[in-house]
Structure 1
């Protein structure tokens, strides 16, 4: 299929990154890059339809079991698949299994949609990224191979130094801020052939230096409010997505949220 900037439907699948955490709206819901992209695509096509099946905390096996089949059945013009990073960030992870499940997902989705979009997930600069970098690079190399084999598009968010800036990440250090999600939406739009609105790779302006005490206080707050609960869920086999359903499970006409 030739590249086209005209799309009539979009289905997003994945985990918290695609659900939209932590792009928090006044009503307490999350928006995120997929909603932003849908809004932009809807401006170009009357009757544009959008579904978002992503649920926070989902592992790639759960995405395959719960989301891939329904997404394939919708036969949308655009499908985005981002998954596997939650697996890679766990202390023990079988990357061969993760890559195999990702391949299974791509093999189901690619024949049923107009454009399949895969991504190299962004990574926040710091010790967590350094520790898990080898796993992430294995995952991204596999994504590139799958894209070449199945004609999918790849958005390389990981390769952008700008998205590694800690200021584009929420206090939990796992999810992008509103500006981070806006940049991801712009990146995907450009890969889909839409005219650029700006350069999403532009670094933020230089930040003022912070002292050791300020940084340590922030680290302690992060450990208490976010890292501790995250480790607790890993140890007990729980997930932040337990009991949650997708925010847009059906492929329906997109309507902008009410102010």
Structure 2
């Protein structure tokens, strides 16, 4: 099925798919899945789109909660992006997490759904302090690739592309993409779906950044440690989630309003 004929698109996952930091709490988050839905709607105005992603979701929560809701909507396209919240938890079992995601892909594929699943970038380049977690990301990505091959899902493999680990595509917390980053992810999925007008330009590196003095870099690191890492560690120790008491932003299939802006189209 080519992209212009998708009529029911459902996105499942965590905060990245919800769209954090592409917009804000007051005006609402846009995110790569919304942007992809806009691209699809330009090709087929009959498209209906739902986004079931909830920030903080673990792979098991996506499988147990979001998957059944997605299947009830009868989608012909589902994007799956989950697992990073598992990676950053104190205890991580790659086999278990990959097994949860494999069940998601298997269940969707068994219904004849076109599934797109993504790997994750090298977080060691985004956050040098997180380099010890890179083997976890590698193990998660390996399981995602195997699942995609096993069930015939479309794979967007972000890890090999250095551009996707460029800090300039991320918000201040270095976990969530900014508007330009979300546009790139949307372009990557559009390219994987072979939508007209999209190519591998999403892999192109950004222009070299001007050098910064050491004291400016040090100040940025201290600010990030205090403002982002501290609260994240605190939630992890308490077993809390940023998604507590939150629900999906688009729980039902609905038409897509195409934005007029094209400065971050990702093309």
- Category of TM-score, reference length = shorter chain: over 0.9
Report how many residues are paired: 258
For 2:49 and 2:134, locate their aligned partners in 1 and report how far apart those are by CA, in whole Å: 33
TM-score by structure 1 length? 0.93
For 1:155 and 1:112, locate their aligned partners in 2 and report how far apart those are by CA, in whole Å: 21
Q: Give 1:78 shift.
A: 0.8
SS of the equivalent of 1:86 reads: helix
Aligned to 2:10: 11
For 2:129 and 2:89, locate their aligned partners in 1 and report how far apart those are by CA, in whole Å: 11
Aligned to 2:77: 78
Aligned to 1:42: 41
Which residue, out of 203, 209, 225, partners 2:227? Answer: 225
Distance 1:108 1:114, change over 3 A: closer
Q: Give 1:258 shift.
A: 9.7
Distance 1:224 1:28, change over 3 A: farther
For 2:234 and 2:27, locate their aligned partners in 1 and report how far apart those are by CA, in whole Å: 24
Question: 5+ unaligned residues in a row in structure 1: which ranges?
Answer: none
Question: 5+ unaligned residues in a row in structure 2: which ranges?
Answer: 262-267
The reply to whether residue 120 of structure 1 matches residue 137 of structure 2 is no
For 1:44 and 1:129, locate their aligned partners in 2 and report how far apart those are by CA, in whole Å: 40
SS of the equivalent of 1:57 reads: coil
CA displacement 1:97-154 (0-9 Å, x = unmatched):
1112112212211122431011112344142453212111111111111111111000
Q: Give 1:82 shift.
A: 1.0
Distance 1:74 1:160, change over 3 A: same
Q: Is this contact kept in 2: 1:5–1:193, CA < 8 A?
A: no
Aligned to 2:265: none
CA displacement 1:159-218 (0-9 Å, x = unmatched):
211111111111011111110100110010011111234611111111111111111111
Q: Give 1:73 shift.
A: 2.0
Distance 1:256 1:27, change over 3 A: farther
- What root-mean-square deviation, in Å, do the aligned CA atoms of Structure 1 and Structure 2 show? 1.9
Q: Is this contact kept in 1: 2:50–2:251, CA < 8 A?
A: yes
Aligned to 2:206: 204
Q: Is this contact kept in 1: 2:10–2:52, CA < 8 A?
A: yes
Q: Which runs of 4+ in 1 moved over 6 A?
A: none
Q: Give 1:55 shift.
A: 0.6
SS of the equivalent of 1:250 reads: strand
For 1:129 and 1:47, locate their aligned partners in 2 and report how far apart those are by CA, in whole Å: 43
For 1:117 and 1:221, locate their aligned partners in 2 and report how far apart those are by CA, in whole Å: 36
Aligned to 1:102: 101
For 1:197 and 1:79, locate their aligned partners in 2 and report how far apart those are by CA, in whole Å: 19
For 1:189 and 1:14, locate their aligned partners in 2 and report how far apart those are by CA, in whole Å: 18
Aligned to 2:170: 169
Q: Is this contact kept in 2: 1:76–1:112, CA < 8 A?
A: no
TM-score by structure 2 length? 0.91
CA displacement 1:15-61 (0-9 Å, x = unmatched):
01101111115943111100000011111112210000001111111
Equivalent runs, 1:183-198 vs 2, <5 Å: 183-197=184-198
SS of the equivalent of 1:200 reads: helix
Q: Is this contact kept in 1: 2:67–2:104, CA < 8 A?
A: yes
For 1:244 and 1:207, locate their aligned partners in 2 and report how far apart those are by CA, in whole Å: 37
For 2:191 and 2:179, locate their aligned partners in 1 and report how far apart those are by CA, in whole Å: 19
